[in-house]
Amino acid sequence: MTDTFEEEDTMKAKLKVFVYGTTKDDLRDLNRISEGAVLVEQATVRGRLLELPTEASVLDVPGVDILAVGTLDPLADADTQQRFIEPFQVPLSGEFGQWQDIDGKLLTFEDAAACLEMLDRMKGFCPYFADMHRRVLLPVVTADGKPTAAWCYVVGALLTSCVLTSDKTCCS
């Protein structure tokens, strides 16, 4: 019976996800996503927000901050995240001039598999076709200054060629 309990516990690995957003649609999605979280904290990541012509915002992050890239296996991704949970050195935001601290929420979920399946569908994430969004593991700093690692959906290859203009819109 112990084996069954341990198996169930493994199947429901906790998962941390960093979410951000500035538009009404982003905020509506954030409220829907947050409902299943067991913990919601203020946090920041290093990056820059690009505003698309559709008024949606996408996060661009420095490549050096990407700790891992998401897969189709939510349990493997939860295990990958666990390897980075111990405190580690988070790069300072001032190291690269184009990056800034992006405010958002750090959500902790009990069931990694259910969480990632829902979020991946919502964001249209597929590791083989990472055109719009990529799911990556990033260093995150909580409001109390503690570093951790969390999955985050960032700009994909199709949008990477965007240019941040002076009015903060993204153009091809």
Instruction: Evaluate if residue 10 carries a pLDDT over 70.
Output: no
% of the chain surpassing 70 pLDDT: 66
Summarize pLDDT for 48-65 with one digit per residue, the tens.
Answer: 888 777 767 789 999 899
List all residues 6 or more positions away from 43 whose beta carbon is below 8 Å from its beta carbon.
18, 103, 104, 105, 106, 140, 141, 142, 143, 150
Higher pLDDT, 163 or 18: 18
Confidence class for position 4, pLDDT limits 50, 70, 90: very low
Stretch 33-59: mean pLDDT: 83
Instruction: Evaluate if residue 103 carries a pLDDT over 90.
Output: yes
> Which domains are delineated in the chain?
11-163 (3.10.490.10)
Confidence class for position 125, pLDDT limits 50, 70, 90: confident
Higher pLDDT, 97 or 138: 138
Instruction: Evaluate if residue 154 carries a pLDDT over 70.
Output: yes
Instruction: Evaluate if residue 101 carries a pLDDT over 80.
Output: yes
Q: Provide the pLDDT for residue 53.
A: 72
Q: Mean pLDDT score of the chain, rounded to an integer? A: 76
Write a three-state SS string for 41-110: EEEEEEEEEEECCCCCEEEECCHHHCCEECCCCHHHHHHHHHHCCCCCCCCCHHHCCCCEEEEEEEEEEC
Stretch 32-60: mean pLDDT: 83
Q: Provide the pLDDT for residue 157.
A: 61
Summarize pLDDT for 78-98 with one digit per residue, the tens.
Answer: 999 988 876 666 655 555 567
* The two structure tokens encoding residue 90: 């988070």
